[in-house]
Structure 1
């Protein structure tokens, strides 16, 4: 029983991380298009961690 709960928690954590990452990348795309930041849009498309970090920073209110 303990292994099943541990495995379920691991799967749920992985799903949460994937959703947060994809959501942040989509936020990056929406923000850069609406603010006409074309260079940052291209950088986020070529180097996805740049886009994800930018999306998280938008969510945090930093950018």
Structure 2
């Protein structure tokens, strides 16, 4: 029988690790959840996950728009 387990996730923004508030949320939803602490997350994009020490790490990259 095959057993499927989910890998624990952590989110990284500006070098700070943020715990996963809810494994059922998408990375974009997690960004919205943390936006009260980090307003820049509202426009940030999650990068593809990497795996380090058995933990899925999803980093947010700030999006900068052009003015004018």
Larger Rg: 1
Q: Give the TM-score taking structure 2 as reference length.
A: 0.28
The structure with the largest helix share of the pair is 1
